[in-house]
Amino acid sequence: MSETSTLHAGAVGHHDDHGHGHHEQSFISKYIFSMDHKTIGKQFLITGIVWAIIGGLFSVLFRLQLGYPDQTFPILETFFGHWAKGGQIQPEFYYGLVTIHGTVLVFFVLTAGLSGTFANLLIPLQIGARDMASPFMNMLSYWFFFLAGIVMLSSIFVHTGPASGGWTMYPPLSALRQAGDGQKIGTDLWLIAMALFIVSSLLGGLNYISTILNMRTKGMSMTRLPLPIWAMFFTAVLGVLSFPVLLSGAILLLFDRNLGTSFYLSDIVVNGEILPNEGGSAILYQHLFWFLGHPEVYIILLPAMGMVSEILSVSARKPIFGYMAMLGSMFAIAILAFLVWAHHMFVTGLNPFLGSVFVLLTLLIAVPSAIKVFNWLTTLWRGNIRFTPAALFAIGFVSLFISGGLTGIFLGNSTIDIHLHDTMFVVAHFHIVMGVASFFGMFAGVYHWFPKMFGRYMNNTLAYIHFWVTMAGAYLIFWPMHYQGLAGVPRRYLDKKGWVSFNQFADLDKMITVVSIIVFAVQLMFVFNFFYSIYKGRKVTTTNPWEANTLEWTTPINPGHGNWAGEIPEVHRWPYDYAKDGRDFIPQTEPVGANESKH
Amino acid sequence: MQTFFIVAILALGFIITFQIAKASEYVAVLRGYERSRKQTNKINGFLLLAFLIIGLIGVVYCNERLKDKILGAPASDHGILVDRMLYVTLAITFIVFVLTQIALFWFSYKYQEKENQKAFYFPHDNKLEMIWTVIPAITLTILVGFGIFYWFKITGPAPKDAVQVEVVGKQFGWEFRYPGKDQVLGKKYFKNVNPAASNPAGQIWEDPANHDDIFVEQEMHLVVNKPVQLVIGAKDVIHDVGLAHFRLKMDAVPGTPTTMWFTPTVTTADMRKKTGNPDFVYEISCDQMCGKGHWSMRGVIVVETQEEYDAWMASKKPQYLVANPDKDPSVKKDTAAAPVPVTAAVIR
């Protein structure tokens, strides 16, 4: 199986290296329609980065409007034409930006870009398999994702603009073409893109589950799996069970839009036109959406949690504290994730009794989350911590997870949610706990496994600048935003000057905008560092640069398709034997000694 | 030109940063990788501690700057419950926040890699884990208990003497209907909606309960200290009746009416005195994304005394008479008077 891997730099195929000697595979089958899990992982990562730049840029654009509602930016008109007439972002454009920003970052970046990348890269490498259970399905998973991206991208360029009903795409707004420009063809394209995306997630998820269950190497029992693998496992289960529900919701919505059905429509007079539909329920869609939408939060968070656990342990040179408790809490989170969706719907007229049940279940999720936080803290306690960029991002993740998790206790309590629902408080909450925190997990993963992916290191100085600016920026942007929410400022208001109750935050909005531009610029620096280091980074000279225990570091520096040149190594212990019996680290492949102490 | 300079400065800044980053890599090679790694480790350890201290000061500073900008005391009975729950939760979470963040950054700083420091092999401890499972569980049970207790109070049935007012959201404005003397809102059907025939709410004129219903737009009047039940609906897409000063919110869903009740406790006039803002009004904000005018979907609530309210109500004519002038005793002599269609006023 081993082949001479020549140039991993050109992993995605933009690179013209036909000339290099491939004995078995052509350029296309190696870099484009590749069935090697590592290459597919890189494809997910790089596509995710492209989408992150687009989604991030959109947020900068609408932050400009929020921070400087009176100022004109002629350059915007140059680029966006009538969408930014007179250099000012028009409301339709604003809502298009908000919608695509949310969709792209939640689904394309933090779902596909995060678990697509690391599930693909890490599952076979860390469990000791040569590839995924079905490499072909794995390849299809990427290409469905790619296709979804193309459709979503094309929706930005249609004449009436992209979907603009918010990333949740609630009907009737999203079901009625008469309701606005963004509800025309843009919404159809959005729905089709999401359907393709869901197919991609399902193909990937099924593959991850069967690979983890069936293809572990000898000795790799389930309780010897590294925590990222457990996290990917729960993530895949969540995705496989919940994404089909969104798919059905999206298909019903397509029917309502195009075939005259009334699943979500009833009693509607839009733009002076009385529609014939009666008997549908607009709230039904919200149930279908949030039945995915809430597990989705954990689909995004769990892989980050898993990778952070691994990286904290490696960096602290100390076993992860409470491995079984970590598993148990992830399991609890995965179960509860399915039982809390209606906490997004406390003010929809939900039966108050049902609401109270969801309050209980929602706040229950704080218990396993608290266990995880305390276990991470204890992992750092009395360690010997090396602050690699990955370690810093992992520490940053824990800090953000605490901050954002605690504000969840406000929102999960329906009494408080009545006031805070759909305000900037919610925006601040989920950006910290789900958005930025998961990004930190992703950055930690990229810095940590970059040597495995490309055989080179990223530049450390740029990485440290990246961390500190992003960390400070995240708090500067989102911490004060909670106060706007406490004042009742609703989400998605592009100008608050006309309001007596909400117009007192002009200075704050300016500050947030300036900081977010700086933070965005620093992310571009990260992207530069990433691509530059693929070609010019310092070369890795040892197979195990972080002195870690897991199996991926027993492969060659640039592993070929099949990962291990010879036999797949056998596993004899759990992955967290750091600092045991006075030894810094003991790889999983090392047999247990006769007089070794038990843990 | 300005844009060009900004881009040029950004590019320059980036090139400088990049050159420094590259140089630091060469320095690391020259000085020995291990040595320079240890040095950056120290720097980052220090920065983590600095971040903690500056961050906690920043939290206090942020609060000082912004605490007067959030809303003052709630202006409804339910608002008091919401605020109480909010501040109890704030007190508990703030303690947890400070303790855990201090632990995180302090441990990171204290246990940074040192020459003769050995990491402590500590894979698990059942007692510890039990403690930090049980304590959060108890705390959260208390919060859930209080929360559900207040939740049922707020969402429970409205008092018998509550006045019903219908609130309907549409792109992009608010319509209100008062039940009139009989205290009953007449039946309506969406296919009857016909603003040209002065029937914007779709009332069924055959229903006698409709004959005294008053229809108004954009501005709702309420009596202070008198419970009111809002019957909420929407014409086109989902909207949301957001009442920040009363701490209340309820979606307006087409086809599925919702309700919400409360007692306003402070009149608009009193609130103007309290806030020192002569332009103060209670506002209804649409809190559910509803299209391009979402951000401007503003309604006004006037909370006033019973006398002021009665006077306002007396100035209004039932919509039945507006739509059917032939039934109106006051215009019977002058049949030429055509109803003036009411148009929605949307800011900007």
The ipTM estimated for the assembled molecules is: 0.92
Q: Do B151 and A508 touch (CB under 8 A)?
A: no
Question: What pLDDT is recorded for position B347?
Answer: 41
Instruction: List CB contacts (< 8 A) between A380 and chain B.
Output: 104, 107-108, 111
Report how far residue A462's alpha carbon sits from residue A522's, in angstroms, rounded to the nearest whole number: 9
Q: Do B123 and A321 touch (CB under 8 A)?
A: yes
Q: Do A349 and B245 touch (CB under 8 A)?
A: no
- pLDDT digit string, tens, across residues B163-174: 999 999 999 999
Instruction: List CB contacts (< 8 A) between B261 and chain A.
Output: none
Reduce the DSSP state of residue A502 to 3 states and report it: coil
Which residue of B82, B108, B254 is in closest CB contact with A385?
Answer: B108
Please answer whether residues A141 and A35 qualify as being in contact, where contact means their C-beta atoms are separated by less than 8 angstroms.
no
Which residue of A269, A347, A465 is in closest CB contact with B235?
Answer: A269
Does A275 have pLDDT greater than 80?
A: yes
Interface residue of B288, B343, B347 to substitute, partner A, most A CBs within 10 Å: B288
Q: Do A383 and B86 touch (CB under 8 A)?
A: no
Q: Do A385 and B17 touch (CB under 8 A)?
A: no
Which residue of A91, A371, A399 is in closest CB contact with B101?
Answer: A399
Q: Do B290 and A173 touch (CB under 8 A)?
A: yes
Distance from CA of B260 to the nearest CA of A (A): 9
Q: Do B238 and A386 touch (CB under 8 A)?
A: no
Does B1 have pLDDT greater than 70?
A: no
Report how far residue A506's alpha carbon sits from residue A519's, in angstroms, rounded to the nearest whole number: 20
Distance from CA of B334 to the nearest CA of A (A): 30
Q: Do B121 and A580 touch (CB under 8 A)?
A: yes
Does B47 have pLDDT greater than 90?
A: yes
Which residue of B151, B255, B293 is in closest CB contact with A355?
Answer: B151
Instruction: List CB contacts (< 8 A) between A599 and chain B.
Output: 121, 123-124
Q: Do A179 and B107 touch (CB under 8 A)?
A: no
Q: Do A377 and B104 touch (CB under 8 A)?
A: yes
Beta-carbon-side half-sphere exposure of residue B260 (alpha carbons within 13 Å): 26
Question: What pLDDT is recorded for position A26?
Answer: 76
Question: What pLDDT is recorded for position A594?
Answer: 81
Biggest alpha carbon–alpha carbon distance for chain A: 84
Please answer whether residues A210 and A133 qualify as being in contact, where contact means their C-beta atoms are separated by less than 8 angstroms.
yes
Which residue of B14, B108, B193 is in closest CB contact with A269?
Answer: B193
Report how far residue A85's alpha carbon sits from residue A65's, in angstroms, rounded to the nearest whole number: 13
Instruction: List CB contacts (< 8 A) between A95 and chain B.
Output: 289, 291-292, 294
- pLDDT digit string, tens, across residues A151-209: 999 999 999 999 999 999 999 999 999 999 999 999 999 999 999 999 999 999 999 99
* Chain B residue with minimum CA distance to A320: B123
Q: Do A486 and B71 touch (CB under 8 A)?
A: yes
Q: Do B347 and A498 touch (CB under 8 A)?
A: yes
Distance from CA of A567 to the nearest CA of B (A): 31
- pLDDT digit string, tens, across residues B118-165: 999 999 999 999 999 999 999 999 999 999 999 999 999 999 999 999
Q: Do B254 and A267 touch (CB under 8 A)?
A: yes
Question: What pLDDT is recorded for position B5?
Answer: 84
CA pseudo-torsion sign A96, A105, B285, A499: negative
Question: What pLDDT is recorded for position A23?
Answer: 52
Question: What pLDDT is recorded for position A176?
Answer: 94
Q: Do A382 and B286 touch (CB under 8 A)?
A: no
Instruction: List CB contacts (< 8 A) between B287 and chain A.
Output: 421-423, 490-491
CB atoms within 10 A of CB B293: 17
- pLDDT digit string, tens, across residues A39-66: 999 999 999 999 999 999 999 999 999 9
Interface residue of A253, A413, A466, A493 to substitute, partner B, most B CBs within 10 Å: A413
Question: What pLDDT is recorded for position B72?
Answer: 84
In chain A the first and final C-alpha atoms are separated, in Å, by: 37
Instruction: List CB contacts (< 8 A) between A315 and chain B.
Output: none
- pLDDT digit string, tens, across residues B273-282: 999 999 999 9
* Low-confidence winner among A392-401, A537-546, B33-42 (lowest mean pLDDT): B33-42
Q: What would the mean pLDDT of A348-368 be, rounded to a whole number?
A: 94
Does A97 have pLDDT greater than 60?
A: yes
* Low-confidence winner among A160-169, A321-330, A588-597, B198-207 (lowest mean pLDDT): A588-597
Q: Do B140 and A364 touch (CB under 8 A)?
A: yes
The CATH number corresponding to B163-327 among 3.30.2130.30, 2.60.40.420, 3.40.50.620, 3.40.50.2000 equals 2.60.40.420
Using 50, 70 and 90 to split pLDDT, how confident is the model at A224?
Answer: very high
pTM: 0.93
Interface residue of B132, B189, B282, B346 to substitute, partner A, most A CBs within 10 Å: B132
Question: What pLDDT is recorded for position A445?
Answer: 97
Q: Do A348 and B251 touch (CB under 8 A)?
A: yes
Those residues whose C-beta lies under 8 Å from the C-beta of residue B261, and which sit 6 or more positions away, are B158, B159, B162, B227, B228, B229, B230
Partners of residue B221 on adjacent β-strands: B302
- Is residue A305 exposed (0-12), middle (13-18) or buried (19+ Cβ within 10 Å)? buried
- Segments making up each domain of chain B, as ranges: 1-31, 33-113+123-155, 163-327
- Residue with more model confidence, A421 or B7: A421
Q: Do B122 and A283 touch (CB under 8 A)?
A: no
Those residues whose C-beta lies under 8 Å from the C-beta of residue B99, and which sit 6 or more positions away, are none
Q: What would the mean pLDDT of A360-384 be, rounded to a whole number?
A: 95
Distance from CA of A145 to the nearest CA of B (A): 28
Question: What pLDDT is recorded for position A24?
Answer: 62
Hey, which bits of B138-255 come out as E strands?
163-170, 173-178, 214-217, 219-223, 228-234, 239-243, 248-252
Q: What would the mean pLDDT of A276-282 be, rounded to a whole number?
A: 93
Which residue of B108, B253, B280 is in closest CB contact with A283?
Answer: B253
- Measured at the CA of A245, the angle between CA A241 and CA A249, to 5 degrees, comes to 170
Does A374 have pLDDT greater than 90?
A: yes
Instruction: List CB contacts (< 8 A) between A487 and chain B.
Output: 69-71, 244
CA pseudo-torsion sign A286, A287, A292, A295: positive
Question: What pLDDT is recorded for position B9?
Answer: 87
- pLDDT digit string, tens, across residues B110-119: 999 998 889 9
Q: What would the mean pLDDT of B104-115 be, rounded to a whole number?
A: 95
Using 50, 70 and 90 to split pLDDT, how confident is the model at B23?
Answer: confident
Does B98 have pLDDT greater than 90?
A: yes
- pLDDT digit string, tens, across residues A12-29: 444 444 444 445 667 777
- pLDDT digit string, tens, across residues B309-321: 999 999 999 999 9
- Total CB pairs under 8 A between chain A and B: 383
Question: What pLDDT is recorded for position A599?
Answer: 62
Instruction: List CB contacts (< 8 A) between B113 and chain A.
Output: 317, 384-387
Which residue of A349, A387, A464 is in closest CB contact with B112?
Answer: A387
Distance from CA of A559 to the nearest CA of B (A): 25
Which DSSP helix (H) or strand (E) runs through A118? helix A117-127
Report how far residue B342's alpha carbon sits from residue B195's, in angstroms, rounded to the nearest whole number: 8
Q: What would the mean pLDDT of A458-475 be, rounded to a whole number?
A: 96
Domain A35-585 top-level CATH class: mainly alpha
Which residue of A367, A392, A468 is in closest CB contact with B140?
Answer: A367
Beta-carbon-side half-sphere exposure of residue A492 (alpha carbons within 13 Å): 29
Does A426 have pLDDT greater than 80?
A: yes
Question: What pLDDT is recorded for position B27?
Answer: 84
Distance from CA of B89 to the nearest CA of A (A): 7
Q: Do A378 and B255 touch (CB under 8 A)?
A: no
**Six token digits for residue A413:** 């309590």
Q: Do B236 and A179 touch (CB under 8 A)?
A: yes
- Residue-averaged pLDDT of chain A: 92
- Segments making up each domain of chain A, as ranges: 35-585
Interface residue of B287, B300, B346 to substitute, partner A, most A CBs within 10 Å: B287
- pLDDT digit string, tens, across residues A555-593: 999 998 889 988 999 999 999 999 998 899 999 999 998
Does A10 have pLDDT greater than 50?
A: no
Does A239 have pLDDT greater than 50?
A: yes
